[in-house]
Chain A
Amino acid sequence: MSAGVELDDVSCDFGRFRAVDHVNVSIRPGEFFSFLGPSGCGKTTILRMISGFQEPSEGAIRIGGKDMRGQRANQRPTALIFQNLALFPLMPVWENIAFGLEVRGEDKVRRRARAEELLRLVDLPGAADKMIGQLSGGQKQRVAIARALAVEPSVMLLDEPLSALDLKLRQHMRAELRGIQKRTGVTFIYITHDQGEALAMSDRVGVMSQGRLQQVADPREIYNNPVNGFVAGFVGEMNRLTGEVGQVANGHAVFGTPHGTFRARLAPGVNGAPVKLYVRPEHMVLSQDGGSENSVPVTIGDIAFEGNFITVSATADTGADLTAEVRNDGIGKLPDRGAKLFMHFDADRAIILPDESKA
């Protein structure tokens, strides 16, 4: 039922613009895989190449081990869920869902029965005869999923289908999508620029920038061990400090900056390339006095109360802007604007990475 998808050194050019640049990735059968990146990074082009609406300029795409070259969209075992869903507004819900069966010549009774069955699967029973215009955003979402599932695809392709929903519904639909994927066992390939979505739903995430795949790993790995400055900065927030790598020992390096000398993990493969030191705001600790190492004297600036956490912006005495995210424990006192404090961080929680993305 489900199939793996292999992108073998795939590139795609539009005139002189290279949208996808030598992408290699092997997506496993039954996996929930996300391509994450900013708009224009080439992720949609990848999706269109897998679905058959775009031919790669170079390289091969294999689905279930079969080369897809020359196969049109209607011949591939994939089903695409469009960003705007592309439900047919002139057909009722059930005809939408059964469209894929209709064009295969399935008889009407079977089509209807299958549509009802899928509507139950996506938790929307009784909506068969409604028109698309009568549905809410979340309901349309479910119909689109049911319509794609109806053709029993081996691979489901989703092009940011949640982007039009409001926050609460989006979070609900994440869980829902994940649930449907687990129930059906179909390989899901999901495109998004929303890192929260990618991290929460996926088995593995591929982070893209400028047509290149920067890192492929499970969400924890992506977040905790980014391979370069782009991944570090795109997935979650980061404090950045510029400096020079000094002495290296046990995977840690001494890092000299204008704000002082720090110690942090050194990412593998840093060979003379420009580097920065990265620390997540939630790993910054505020205190009255400086710690033994990795400590910066700062002046507190803006304080943004976000509810479950508090974002504290500060300026180092040497000029760098730093941010700390403090959990709201419900009783703690917030520092005052202008207060002189220290920010420090654990050497294991800071990482020295090549500054630039792969290009």
Chain B
Amino acid sequence: MQDLLRRYGATLTGAFVVLTAFWLLALVILPNVTLFESSFRYYLPVVDIGGPKDVYTLANYQKFINNPVETSFLGIPFTMPIHMITFFNTVIFSAIVTVITFVLSYPLAYYLAKMVSPASLPTLILLLFIPLWVSEALRAFAWYIILTFNGPLNSSLVGLGLLDSPIRWQNGVVTAYDAIVIGLVYTYVLFMVFPIYGSIQSLDRNQIEAAEDLGAKWWQTHWRVVLPHAKPGIASGCVMVFMLSAGSLLVPTVLPSTRSNWFTQTIQVLMLESQDWNSGAAYSFLYILLCTVVVTLVMWLFKVKLSDIAK
């Protein structure tokens, strides 16, 4: 601060502080405080707000554990509240999306960082960026077209003789979330590629050659030298893809099956259809909790700092 005053004087320093304060207070902190506070209030008609009924309550959070229904996981049947099922499905399938995108991205990131000729690298990066500029809704929609019952995937698979009759992909072949997972992977895979590419790129090529020279096979070099170096990028990519997937509303809405439900959809129904903003706030707060848990978990698991993730 002293330093700022010395360089820019009181007026400019004051301006920097005011701008930052506006950002953090009006746009970040206070909205979240309001969210937190609202989540403990009843959803009341306007006339009752501020009246005797307007007291703090946990009722909004209780909805999360209401309405238990029969379900099963890995063949084991049990009962669980319906919103909780949605929540855990969202978490599990977001995790699956994260793993798939990592598997798809790592070889590509390594190829871009260490194998491609420097002359064609910028062109390839640009090519990869093009789909990223196309809106998320459209990217999900593209897969809607591909996966429809009368769509090109079924017709080409049947045409090639790989399928006897068309499949209802969107209703799920393995799980009810197949189409959503496919859509999310397609939509967010580049958010995994670029952080990993960035971290592998900073690895000295001599490190790879040294490992090879000492007798390491290619997978040993990757396991002991490249992967550990790429850890911050992997952490960053995993957090990004997981949070984007868990928070996506477009993809689960465009590519739903009859049995799929994403937690964002639950919130959307509460907020925009039931107009129950207080419950919406409570469920949003659960998302913040999830986000915090995931980021903390990744930071602990990968032994990285927040600044590594936020790159």
Contacts and interface: CB of A to CB of B under 8 A. Distances in A.
A53 B215 contact: no
A48 to B, nearest CB: 9
A237 B45 CA distance: 97
Given A74-B217, A99-B224, A103-B220, A86 B212 contact: no
A78 B213 contact: yes
B213 A80 contact: yes
For B214, B215, B225, B228, the residue with the greatest tally of chain A CB atoms inside 10 Å of its CB is B214
A83 B224 CA distance: 21
B207 interface: yes
Contact of B206 (A79, A82, A148): A82
A84 B215 contact: no
A86 B209 contact: yes
Given A99-B211, A103-B215, A86 B229 contact: no
A70 to B, nearest CB: 15
Chain B contact surface mostly:
helix
A53 B210 CA distance: 10
Interface in A73-90: 73-75, 78-80, 82-84, 86-88, 90
A297 interface: no
Given A90-B228, A99-B224, A103-B220, A82 B212 contact: no
Interface string B217-235: 1001000110011000000
Nearest to A157: B213
Contacts of B308: none
B212 A74 contact: yes
A51 B213 contact: yes
Interface of B: 204, 206-207, 209-217, 220, 224-225, 228-229
11 contacts: A53-B209, A53-B212, A73-B209, A74-B215, A74-B217, A80-B209, A84-B204, A88-B224, A90-B229, A99-B216, A103-B220
Given A84-B206, A100-B215, A103-B217, 7 more contacts: A80-B210, A80-B213, A88-B207, A90-B229, A100-B214, A103-B214, A103-B220
The 7 closest A-B pairs by CB, nearest first: A86-B206, A100-B214, A86-B210, A103-B216, A82-B206, A103-B220, A80-B213
